[in-house]
Amino acid sequence: MLIARHLRDGTVRVALVLNEELVDLDTDHDDLPALLDSGVDLQNLATGDRTNLSEAHLLAPVGAPPAILAVGLNYRAHAEEGGRDVPTTPVIFTKHHNCIIGPGDGIHIPTIAPDKVDYEGELAIVIGRRCRHVPRDSAQEVIAGYTIMNDVSVRDWQKASPTMLMGKSWDTHGPIGPWMATSDEVDPHKLRLTTRVNNEIRQDSNTDDLIFDCFDIVHHLSSAFTLEAGTVIATGTPAGVGVYWDPPKMLAEGDEVSITIEGIGTLTNPVVAEPDTQLI
């Protein structure tokens, strides 16, 4: 199944993607964390209104994840392009929840770092139920599905902080979507991933180059802390990020980034100037 969130008549709905249509689920839940935690059979709930995909206002498939976790240097070729040793333990960092946006929403270019913004196409895990101490061989049982994340990175801020949080968490710098493919839809370790900027291919790889695969990651993280339903885990980006092109190819206002992962879909976002707003 492909599960989406969209805005219909001013109300957020969760829907099944079916034959170029969204079929609303018969549920009071408007986000995946609580819906997944309820344990209901989502397919049986697909009895509501229908919306043509071409007319739908898609939202991030998980609008308010209880946590956003990410893995750095998790593709062999990406570690090599940066001259880094291949990690022997997963490199984990977090992203702040305000980074989440959906398909078609604008990625902001910060006014204080206008030439340091980079794209990172990634496969993201969505946890399906509360879990702890998950054996690697059982990890698939706690994964609800997979989506696409653009782990947008402000490189100078990233390098200035050992935790990477400040370079990874700017508002709008966590696009996800266009929906979630349930775990029975795809083999997460044999998926082609392609990132295009203005239709130019920048990243073209396969998840078989992951150093730590999805099940390794869930096992590792759940060894330390409980993972809640709806937690999003970005699994790392392949080679081809903008900072390592010669010369670098960083994002700029007016660009468009599209990330395609086979079996899931394509996540597309425009790149826009940061709004001139101040909240105090």
Q: Please indicate, yes or no, whether residues 79 and 12 belong to a single structural domain of this protein.
A: no
The verdict on residue 280 lying in a domain is no
pLDDT of res. 280: 66
The domain total for the chain is 2
In a domain, 104, yes or no: yes
In a domain, 278, yes or no: no
Neighbour count for residue 47 (Cβ, 10 Å)? 10
Residue 279 domain-assigned (yes or no): no
Q: Are residues 134 and 52 in the same domain?
A: no
Domain end call among 59, 78, 93:
59
- Report whether 188 contacts 213 (CB < 8 A): yes
CA–CA distance, 5 with 12 (Å, rounded to integer): 7
Tens place of pLDDT per residue across the chain (280 aa): 999 999 999 999 999 999 999 999 999 999 999 999 898 888 889 999 999 999 999 999 999 999 999 999 999 999 999 888 899 999 999 999 999 999 999 999 999 999 999 999 999 999 999 999 999 999 999 999 999 999 999 999 999 999 999 999 999 999 999 999 999 999 999 999 999 999 999 999 999 999 999 999 999 999 999 999 999 999 999 999 999 999 999 999 999 999 999 999 999 999 999 998 777 6
Which pTM value belongs to this model?
0.97
* Domain closes at, from 59, 82, 104: 59
> Quick one: 73 and 212 in the same domain?
yes
Q: Are 79 and 53 in a shared domain?
A: no
Based on the domain organization, do 101 and 238 belong to the same domain? Answer: yes
Give the CATH number for residue 156: 3.90.850.10
Q: Based on the fold, state whether residues 86 and 52 are members of the same structural domain.
A: no
pLDDT value at residue 262: 97
Peptide bond into 178 cis (omega under 30): yes
Nearest to 234 by CA among 115, 110, 91, 116: 91
Residue 137 sits in which domain range?
68-273
Query: Does residue 197 lie in a domain region?
Result: yes
Q: Which of 59, 86, 101 is the last residue of a domain?
A: 59
Q: Is 54 exposed, middle or buried (0-12, 13-18, 19+ CB in 10 A)?
A: exposed
pLDDT of residue 103: 98
For residue 108, tell me if it sits in a domain. yes
Strand partners, 14: 5
Residues 103 and 185 in one domain: yes
Q: Kindly state whether residues 214 and 160 are assigned to the same domain.
A: yes
Based on the domain organization, do 143 and 98 belong to the same domain?
A: yes
